[in-house]
Structure 1
Amino acid sequence: MTNYTIRDEIREYWSLRAATFDEQVGHEIFSEEERQAWRALFLRHLGPGEGLRALDLASGTGVVSHLLDGLGFDVTGLDWSEPMLSRARAKAASRGAKIRFVMGDAERTLEQPGSYDVIVTRHLVWTLVDPKAAFREWHSLLKPGGRVLIMDGDFVSNTFVKRMIQLIERLTGRSVASPHRPDAMREAHERILQQVYFSRGARSSEVANLLRDAGFTHIEIDQDLSRIHRQQARNLPFFKALERQTQHRYAIVATKPA
């Protein structure tokens, strides 16, 4: 008998990924042009951060936390992987950034209700076991009028480009776009994906509906991420860049009623 759960497996998976997390496009930022593209997205939906508190959920090594810090927010980064947090704290120390990093579960944060003006997540929602409970939790953490910004995507559904890549890989026997991970890591990823809520892909319309059910209003879906994708494509193989630009990726901003 064991108490090992899907949540434990998710935490262990990302802890193992921590060592190479910042080597991958889409995790770390590799050019000033891409950094400015992310800043523009944040400013479009959140505005400047002077005097406002921001919570970066599933903060990883702190990439989004540093973007928020650069916009003037008072930032807390929350992650439940100690290896990720160790790298995040070291990065903040080396840059002289006053970012608070804490360990916690994004679905049950234990943070004080009504204590944040902004909550930001990137590539977290697709991994949630219980997004309904998570969104209610995030709603409770925000001050009245506070906003949540979700950046995520459907990385599961087959597209024409994805099928083309799979065919090329079968014919050539080599990877042209898939992540270069050890077999055990790929297997763990697939096993986790089969058990999370969005196992068939996190579509923006479904995420928006769940946010609405949790009490959020003024929900806006922004699929114009082309500026970011163009900059990321400069550091990706051709087929991986093509796949990224044709996936259903989006930003969703929603407001807690004042």
Structure 2
Amino acid sequence: MSDVATRPNYDLRDEIKAYWSERAATFDLSPGHEIFSEEERAAWHRLILRHLGEGAGRSALDLASGTGVVSHLLDDLGFRVAGMDWSEPMLERARQKAKSRGRDISFRMGDAENTMEPDDHYDVVVNRHLVWTLVDPAAAFREWLRVLKPGGRVLIVDGDFVNATRLERFFSSLSVWGQRVGLLRPDAPSQPREMLETHRSILARVHFSQGARAEAVVGLLRAAGFADITVDTDLGEIHRMQAKNWNLFKGLARRSQHRFAIRASKPVA
């Protein structure tokens, strides 16, 4: 880990920001981050439509937007999209990608736990693989409720990346063994050991250090004031499409994880 983490006033949020800034260069090379087939894109579209419906010009805020993968999915479906991330290297790549694809998506610097956006402003708030990294999810959920219009919806796609199931451990061990002996294709891209150690260090100190379980996320959403909360664990179609980019056992391990989509609404006063 860089010695910058020992500087005064350098806190966990700064470490998280620095980690994802460093990951930006290779982020889109990883299945599960970028989308590598039209079949997977269509599967994501169906998930979003199931919970949010057609965009029809409605406003959407994609939090922790990274290189803009989810922002593009929302744009595909007719939403008016703003992406927000606190990593400038991620934002640079997101803007380049949107420009190259001719997309009218705005990307801005911001903190998902304190967006500085106006009250009652967005029809939907969406994020993927953000909640497990939050330092204060209760505060973040209150913030998302604030920026949503009455009747607006949040869609969270996340999972428990700490507590591996027995099946996941079994398939992961087979994947590691197969890569080591050269029988299976290696994961791409592989992270340097230093980055893996930084990831583990961060994960040990965030709110969901023991794993982001759907029921815990639902409890915090309800406490923040959200209603009409639905948990969807039927993500198998997406995972099957992603698995085509991994070796067999890596794909089976991914499908064995506790992953979910949660939709919740801001009550209409």
TM-score (norm. length: structure 1): 0.96
RMSD: 1.7
Q: Structure 1 stretches (4+) deviating beyond 6 angstroms? A: 169-173, 175-179
Check if 1:238 corresponds to 2:248. yes
Give identity over the alignment, percent: 62
Q: How many residues align?
A: 258
Q: 2:239 aligns with which of 189, 205, 229?
A: 229
Q: Deviations over 1:221-251 (max 9, x none)?
A: 0000111111111111112101110100000
Q: 1:101 aligns with which of 102, 107, 121?
A: 107
Report the CA distance shift for 1:170/1:99 in structure 2 as closer, same or farther (over 3 A). closer
Check if 1:251 corresponds to 2:243. no
Report the secondary structure of 2:35's partner residue: coil
Q: How big is the shift at 1:85?
A: 0.1
Report the CA distance shift for 1:173/1:36 in structure 2 as closer, same or farther (over 3 A). closer
Aligned to 1:11: 17
Aligned to 1:192: 202
Amino acid at match of 1:93: K
Structure 2: how far apart are the matches of 1:254 and 1:80?
A: 24
Aligned to 1:181: 191
Check if 1:146 corresponds to 2:152. yes
Check if 1:74 corresponds to 2:80. yes
Structure 1: how far apart are the matches of 2:100 and 2:230?
A: 36
Structure 1: how far apart are the matches of 2:226 and 2:245?
A: 36
Aligned to 1:215: 225
Aligned to 2:119: 113
Amino acid at match of 2:214: S
Structure 2: how far apart are the matches of 1:204 and 1:48?
A: 25
Q: 1:34 aligns with which of 21, 37, 40?
A: 40
Structure 2: how far apart are the matches of 1:171 and 1:251?
A: 31
Contact kept? 2:172, 2:253, Cα under 8 Å: no
Aligned to 2:3: none
Matches within 5 A, 1:128-143: 128-143=134-149
Structure 2: how far apart are the matches of 1:157 and 1:53?
A: 35
Unaligned runs of 5+ in 2: 1-6
Unaligned runs of 5+ in 1: none
Check if 1:23 corresponds to 2:32. no
Report the CA distance shift for 1:167/1:51 in structure 2 as closer, same or farther (over 3 A). closer
Q: 1:86 aligns with which of 82, 92, 96?
A: 92
Amino acid at match of 1:191: S
Aligned to 1:58: 64
Q: How big is the shift at 1:161?
A: 2.4
Structure 1: how far apart are the matches of 2:257 and 2:176?
A: 21
